[in-house]
Amino acid sequence: MRSEHIPRATIKRLALYVQVLETLKREGAEVISSELLAKACDVNPSQIRKDLAYFGGFGVRGVGYYVQELITSIKQSLGVDRIWRAALVGVGNLGKALLRHQEFRRRGFHIVGIFDCDPFKIGEEIGGIEVICSKRLPEKAGELGVEIGLITTPPERAQRAANYLIEAGIKGIVNFAPARIAAPEHVCVEYVDFFHHLYNVAFNITLGQSQR
């Protein structure tokens, strides 16, 4: 099946499946049933089977799924079975926290370029990588082989950061800034808004209290 016919919700669940499967693998699991995987992911077993069916046959009837084999197959389907080179724009507290996060590299996402517009930060080295002026991103991205952009700027600077990434030919952006950005249709933009999740949690707590 062509990738554009696969629901976005399925893609997001596949990423969750990989995360859960890798945890199970570290705990020593070699085989898992769709029922146990569904329980660990908090989804219906039939949904697991439907999602995996988009990418071909997985699992052995009466046995289940071989954990490592399923991890490999899903990663290949998602295109994350290789190294992705990323640039981070915005070296504030959040940006520095992400740069220290070892999971990026472990999962195949290598931050190879760091950019900021603050003259006091330009030239600073973080993790062996020199902070470069954001205006130079379009010229440096090609040299560094950047494919994905991470925006961790204040909200009022997010669009400018996105513009530099788009000008550099970057086709995928993950925006951690609490602001919407405009981008061409061919550029995939994902938003990570911590406040969105905090609002959801606060609402659910409030709703639960009001129903007592």
Task: Pick left, alpha or beta for residue 108 (phi over 0 → left; psi -120 to 50 → alpha; otherwise beta).
Answer: left
Give 28-71 pLDDT, tens digit per residue: 999 999 899 999 999 999 999 899 888 776 777 777 899 999 99
Q: Is residue 121 a contact partner of residue 131, using CB atoms and an 8 Å limit?
A: yes
What does the alpha-carbon distance between residue 85 and residue 80 come to, in Å, rounded to a whole number?
Answer: 11
Helices (H), the chain: 8-26, 34-41, 45-53, 67-78, 93-100, 103-106, 137-144, 158-167, 194-210
Q: What domains are there in the chain, each with its CATH number?
A: 3-77 (1.10.10.10), 84-195 (3.40.50.720)
Placement of tokens 């609402």 in the chain: 203
Residue 2: per-residue pLDDT: 44
CB-based contacts of 72, cutoff 8 Å, min separation 6: 81
Nearest by Cα to 44 from 76, 78, 9, 75: 9
Q: What is the pLDDT of residues 142-199, one digit of tens each?
A: 999 999 999 999 999 999 999 999 999 999 999 999 999 999 999 999 999 888 889 9
Task: List, for residues 92-138, the tens digit of each pLDDT value.
Answer: 999 999 999 988 998 899 999 999 999 999 999 999 999 999 999 99
What pLDDT score does 1 carry? 42
Instruction: Provide the sign of the torsion angle of the four alpha carbons 126, 190, 9, 77, taken in this order.
Output: negative
| DSSP label of 63 | T
Run of H or E including 110: strand 109-116
At residue 57, the pLDDT reads 67
Q: What is the pLDDT of residue 207?
A: 85
pTM over 0.95: no
**pLDDT band (50, 70, 90) for residue 211:** low
